[in-house]
A = this chain, B = another copy of it.
Amino acid sequence: MPAKLRFSANINTFNACADRYVLSGYGKRLTTEELIQAATRVEGLTGVEVVGFWHVNDDNVERVYRQIRDAGLEVTCVTPDIWASAKWGWGSFASNDPEIRRQAIHEVKKSMEWAKQMHCEIVDLWFGQDGYDYPFQADFLAAWDRIIEGTIECAEYLPDVKLAIEYKPKEPRTHCFIGTVGKTLLLLQKVNKPNVGAMIDVGHALMAYENAAESAALLHYFGNKLFYMHFNDNWRLWDDDMTVGSVHTIEMLELLYWLDRLNYQGWYALDIFPYREDGVRAAGESIRWIQGLHGLLDKIGRERIAEIIAKGDAMEASAVIREALLG
């Protein structure tokens, strides 16, 4: 169990969030510098994520990194953009077009370089566009071949940068190839590189009817592969990217318990879309919910929880949580 939880958030949390109806966004568009400044206003936040080419590139990486450090923050994750422009629409690593695949791999390598330059350990590999929308549209076997091959190539490029596969069952495609914790681990086993692991985005797990605690346990069980965590919440059927604690109180508590039990030492990063909310408040709320729930585990006592789990006594679990929450 970490002495103290470390919190991060993508700096885009503080930018205008858009959806397919309000394409110009619900809030105000900020510059990268303004986003970094916004991050400093979130109590408890000590890390930030950036997106490759959106926030950093070969020309500005040193400057942006200095701004982040000067703001008292660390870079915890770089996410290559292989999903946010039309050219990726039919896939990135799994595209039928070898030129697109080459470009996608190149983007990831660039993000790995920038991560390294910014002393950041993690690159987020989200294959959001690699999937299909309609029946009879995908060659599943070719897709897996290509994703495995591309991931190996990236992993070998910079072995001291970690790639964390971020799975999600759907959106923007109606079906994404790397959609569940199980498929993620299958990919990891084929890739078989020490610097390739996974992250859990809590909302993606909820969408997949996964219990994120169980998914974390599986990633641990199959080779200690939980590299990173994305926190948020939703109504279970879609990636609503809400603030932590807004819907799923008990499952979040179970997740936090298991992260400690599995000795997860990584960042507690937020991946929220505060469409209509102020990003600084939304991030602050999320952190305070995690801290509060984490403190509840201390109050209950992890030994006691371990005993209840060993017995599988759901009613005792209910009572203990209830008493801790409601007295």
Contacts and interface: CB of A to CB of B under 8 A. Distances in A.
Contacts of A247: 135, 248, 250-251
Interface in A213-236: 213-214, 217-218, 220-222, 234-236
Interface stretch (A62-70, A100-108, A178-186): A178-186
Given A86-B26, A137-B312, A240-B133, A19 B172 contact: yes
A3 interface: no
Contacts of A157: none
A135 B250 contact: yes
Most chain-B CB neighbours within 10 Å: which of A17, A137, A243?
A137
A86 B25 CA distance: 6
A93 to B, nearest CB: 15
Interface in A163-218: 169-172, 174-175, 179-186, 189, 208-209, 211, 213-214, 217-218
Interface in A65-93: 83-86, 88-90
A285 interface: yes
A218 B276 contact: no
A61 interface: no
Interface residues of A, number: 106
Interface of A: 17-27, 83-86, 88-90, 96, 128, 132-141, 144, 169-172, 174-175, 179-186, 189, 208-209, 211, 213-214, 217-218, 220-222, 234-238, 240, 242-243, 245-251, 253-254, 257-258, 273, 275-278, 281-282, 285, 288-289, 292-293, 295-296, 305, 308-315, 317-319, 321-322, 325-327
